[in-house]
Amino acid sequence: MRERIAIWGDNRASRFNAKAAETLSATRAITFEEIETYQGFAFDPGGAARDVTLPAEAECEDVAFWLANTADNAEIITVKNDGGDAIVTPTQSEAAFIWCDGTAWYGMVGAFA
């Protein structure tokens, strides 16, 4: 069972684990182990459009995480399920919130500053 992110008492902020930012040079698969460890990913597509593939839905029930596109140019990241279907496509300076119900991945995209 996944650890739940909690709101702490005594005016303490919630915390989540973010993986160190990466520059991609090819398609990137996010592993099940990474999904279980991190709730935030930051990828620079490295000068070209890139695909990021998610683990199988059956392994990822109740998973939710953020993915930021930190490109310095108009480069798109296409986040796909393990069957190759596009879930979200954040472009430069956009982030995606992605979640899974155990049968499908879902997502939404918005800009960040």
Q: 100, 61 in Cβ contact below 8 A?
A: yes
pLDDT band at 16 (very low <50, low <70, confident <90, very high): confident
Residue 27 vs residues 16, 18, 66, 83: alpha-carbon distances, Å: 25, 20, 18, 14
pLDDT given at position 5: 55
Q: Using an 8 Å Cβ cutoff, are 98 and 88 in contact?
A: yes
Residue 8 has pLDDT above 60, yes or no: no
Task: Return the minimum-mean-pLDDT range out of 93-97, 101-105, 108-112.
Answer: 108-112
Tell me if 34 is assigned to some domain: yes
The answer as to whether 3 is a domain residue is no
Total domains in the chain come to: 1
pTM of the model: 0.86
User: Where residue 100 sits, what CATH number does that domain have?
Assistant: 2.60.120
Would you say residue 68 lies in a domain? yes
Please check the confidence at residue 2 and state whether its pLDDT lies above 80.
Answer: no
Is 66 within 8 Å of 97 (Cβ atoms)? yes
Task: Please report the pLDDT score of residue 104 as a whole number.
Answer: 98
Asked, for residue 2, whether it belongs to a domain, the answer is no
Per-residue tokens: 61: 């029930």
Is 52 inside any structural domain? yes
Q: What is the pLDDT of residue 111?
A: 86
* Alpha carbon distance 64, 87 (integer Å): 13
Specify if 9 maps to a domain. no
Q: Comparing C-alpha atoms, which of 7, 70, 65, 5 is closest to residue 34?
A: 65
pLDDT digits (tens, 9 = 90+) for 40-96: 999 999 999 999 999 999 999 999 999 999 999 999 999 999 999 999 999 999 999
SS3 67: strand
Write out the residue range of the structural domain in which residue 50 sits: 22-111
Report if residue 14 sits inside a domain.
no
Q: List the one residue out of 64, 106, 112, 110 whose CA is nearest residue 87.
A: 106
